[in-house]
Structure 1
């Protein structure tokens, strides 16, 4: 039996509403877990050629199903009336150049602190391998600009997360949960390095690139394989 256009549109609408609900939940987690303050940071998810994204300047606990905000891959608004996040260029740059289905950007304290100190997060823990390797810091550029998006893409080359100098962190994944978990893991590693390097007279031991590569291979078989 041939599917009707109405049936297809109905399923698309239901999927979009489901993803929006998950996106709002993820955005609220960033606040609850202390990764952002107020309306800083932003979250997005891709559904086909549609990008759902948190709107600019709206507290996440006030977002409702009627506040759904979406743009196409060119940045043209196609859903909702609220203005999309000012960081839309970063989100779209990731979707245009990777297979990402979700992006999480935060202003987490420890990640932001590290971004002001070093050009790359030192290899203090093997979970850097889960992000593709040593986490780079994208050079500073004003928020919401194509310049920042370009700097970010270069820092993300071969990685699924990076730090943004004097700004925060950004990660992406195949799902909202994966993107969020990578953000949380990155913030934890930044906190770990700052803690270990703060003790007078002591320097934290760091992993070698070879050790990190070995872990990367082991992580490919980690967890429940289906």
Structure 2
């Protein structure tokens, strides 16, 4: 099937939507660097087994412009010429490939949080957990790195505003959530941080599934006080210049 393209117009002409500025909100070099990092992150989700095929999507915000992976294009085929960007209102301002079908979800995160990057995957263990419980049990202290117990957003059809709304409620006070029968969403101030949160979430889901599968035994969980203590300790974690 030929790739769907955003420059197909009713009047038979091609090009970006009327009034679209191809450089809105970003300098060309900055956008090029951000696109390169975005594509590398998207390819990493495949290499690490967090998505299969073209499922999942990644975005990064530069000013009021959002660079986002296009719909239905394998990540290993993306080139610098495929840079795809939209404004916070969803209007396409750069590129000809149609943005990801999950664009409403990405834009909702940017409109309501301080996110600069968003990663959405269909990770196997996380998706499995999303079908079993309304909230990931606090199986590990890295729960604190996501802001607290990870909630499951109720199911809604992919690419809809309803899904975006359910996701926002699950993200309240959190930097990641599960999407019921669907996958994961995490965000951060950088692509690396957003991706690391996704990887940590998938690992915790795998850990809980593994521990809870042992016959006759129930996994121990962290208490509210134990999680609060970790939250304080994490504030000083890492290198300080």
Gaps of 5+ in 1: 1-7
Q: 1:35 aligned to 36, 50, 67, which one?
A: 50
User: Match for residue 92 of structure 2?
Assistant: 77
TM-score scaled to structure 2, two decimals?
0.89
* 2: CA distance, partners of 1:217 / 1:16: 36
How far residue 209 of structure 1 moved from its aligned partner, in angstroms, is 1.2
* 2: CA distance, partners of 1:174 / 1:155: 19
1:197 aligns with 2:212: yes
User: Match for residue 111 of structure 2?
Assistant: 96
Gaps of 5+ in 2: 1-22
1:165 aligns with 2:158: no
User: Match for residue 52 of structure 1?
Assistant: 67
Instruction: Give 1:73-222 correspondences, 5 Å limit.
Output: 73-222=88-237
* 1: CA distance, partners of 2:198 / 2:225: 24
How big is each residue's C-alpha offset from its partner over 1:26-45, in whole Å with a ceiling of 9 and x where there is no partner? Answer: 00000000000000000000
1:18 aligns with 2:33: yes
How far residue 130 of structure 1 moved from its aligned partner, in angstroms, is 0.1
* 2: CA distance, partners of 1:72 / 1:62: 24
Q: Which has the higher helix share?
A: 1
How big is each residue's C-alpha offset from its partner over 1:94-137, in whole Å with a ceiling of 9 and x where there is no partner? Answer: 00011100000000000000000000000000000000000000
How big is each residue's C-alpha offset from its partner over 1:141-183, in whole Å with a ceiling of 9 and x where there is no partner? Answer: 0000000000000000000000000000000000000000000
How big is each residue's C-alpha offset from its partner over 1:58-111, in whole Å with a ceiling of 9 and x where there is no partner? Answer: 000000000000000000000000000000000000000111000000000000
* 1: CA distance, partners of 2:131 / 2:41: 26
TM-score scaled to structure 1, two decimals?
0.95
* 1: CA distance, partners of 2:86 / 2:100: 11
**Alignment coverage as a number of residue pairs:** 218
